[in-house]
Amino acid sequence: MTSRNLLRSRPQPEAQTDVAPWIADLRSRSTKGAVPWRSLLGAFLVLLVLGLTVNSLLLLRLPGLGPVDSHSYVDALDRALDGQAAHSTDTMGPDSASLMRERGIHFPGQLHERRDSGLLDIYAEAHLTSYVHPPSYFFLTAGVVKAVQVFRADADWYVTGRLAGALWAALGGILLVALGLVWGAPVWPATSVAAWVTVLPQPVLNTAFITPGALTLAVSAAVLLGLSLWWQRRISWWALAPFGALTIAIKTNNAVLVPLALGAIVAFAIMGRARWRDSLSAGAAFVGGAAVAFLGWQAWADPVTYNYQNDIFAQPPSLSGLLDALQAPLGFNSASSMIRTMLIHQHALVIWSATIMTLLLIGATLFCLLRCGRHTVGRLAGLVALGTIATAGLLFFAFSLVRTGVVLPPAGRYALPSLAFVAWPLLLLAGHRVVWSTATVGTAVTLTGWLLL
């Protein structure tokens, strides 16, 4: 294997161009943009500070456990700190149960936590559901908690675990920036777009509380970044296998990324006029990586015995459930949007900011579809985004039905893995003054909204 197949951080001299990222010719398969590592590190620090600010604000205003399976996830983190993984027969341990009774739970949309002893007793005695996901997130977060406790032995594990979400938010944000960079977008305008994405309600719901969804944005961006690097010949087709494995290794719901990635590979091949052998090899490597991760996880994990039929959120297959899925991921209904959410209390500024971002994502997709040439990167990004908007909710609908026999709404937070695919056109347009200035203002407005919560 020659060095040409290895990751290159700098473009070849003949590939350097002054054309806008969205009109670059896709067929050349050349390196589009350099990766300025110092600037990327600076952008990561900015995103980390922003994430710590938001998570600290929410920790002060919403100190209780989060609204989505929080008792299960908090207990799983407690077990991970002892080097253990959750199993299907587990109920809450004494430490996590005591924490839940002390802090209470923020039920969907409620500002104040509830500490009803009878209700919390039911949660404490019920079988947990965190075992249906690989323990990767919990062990990674436990590692962060342990690292902090080396320097501050009395650091509260729950508080540290929630603040660690800022690290996962920054990781997701910087991977979005890198996605823009490899296609030629300027680093700081791309950072402004990524920053806005990370402080929106649905991503914050996942990174400000303890949940394996905290790494969903990072996985989404990493997958599309991997496909981009393969197309530009910065990595070989076989290097897509780890990206496929990543989809399953963090959270099983991220499996919707597998068909989305395959659809993107097909779009790359058709619009870039690539040889099908290379594209088929890339698709096989990606699916193979996901399959190995899934089979390995199933071989190690308990059988999934959780009775989804009795889940309070479950719905039988119906036309209404299908219509909810059709609205995801950019539905204006907060229950079906991967940008908005009704599960945490928000100031009106945050809601308006999320609505504007939704419109901007749609506008960027239409711009790339209508204003970019047939074989340009912009047209490809617009097509991938449009296909994702149209199918992400349906893919999870099918995944939920096959896996559990019921439909688990809301589709919005389950469509979150597709966020990077939808944001790709906006990242290509980040260098446009209207885009980066709007993103900068949007980030400031959203941060103000969280401050006023």
d(CA 365, CA 308): 36
Residue 317: pLDDT band with limits 50, 70, 90: low
Which tokens hold the place of 35?
């990766």
On the question of pLDDT at 258 being above 90, the answer is yes
Residue 59: pLDDT band with limits 50, 70, 90: very high
On the question of pLDDT at 239 being above 80, the answer is yes
Q: Is the peptide bond before 329 cis (omega within 30 degrees of 0)?
A: yes
Q: Quick: pLDDT tens for 93-115.
A: 999 999 999 999 988 878 778 87
Residue 309: pLDDT band with limits 50, 70, 90: low
More confident residue, 324 or 447: 447
Cross-strand pairs, 236:
none
- Give the pLDDT confidence score for residue 307 in this predicted structure: 52
Task: Report, as an integer, the average pLDDT of 34-57.
Answer: 94
- Give the pLDDT confidence score for residue 321 in this predicted structure: 63
Instruction: Spell out the residues 6+ positions from residue 333 whose beta carbon is closer than 8 angstroms to its own.
Output: 327
d(CA 446, CA 448): 5
Cross-strand pairs, 65:
105
The mean pLDDT of the chain is: 87
Residue 6: pLDDT band with limits 50, 70, 90: very low
Task: Report, as an integer, the average pLDDT of 316-322.
Answer: 61
- Give the pLDDT confidence score for residue 248 in this predicted structure: 93
- Give the pLDDT confidence score for residue 11 in this predicted structure: 39
CA distance to 19, 324, 358, per residue, from 333 (Å): 38, 9, 11
Q: Is the peptide bond before 410 cis (omega within 30 degrees of 0)?
A: yes
The label of the residue with tokens 């900068």 reads 440
Spatial CA neighbour of 110 closest among 119, 122, 99, 97 = 119
What does pTM read for this prediction?
0.91
Instruction: Spell out the residues 6+ positions from residue 434 whose beta carbon is closer than 8 angstroms to its own.
Output: none
Task: Report, as an integer, the average pLDDT of 415-443.
Answer: 96
Q: Tell me, what amino acid is at 321? A: G
Q: Quick: pLDDT tens for 367-378.
A: 999 999 889 999
User: What is the radius of gyration, based on Cα positions, of the chain?
Assistant: 21
CA distance to 1, 320, 326, per residue, from 316 (Å): 52, 10, 16
CB 394 within 8 A of CB 384: no
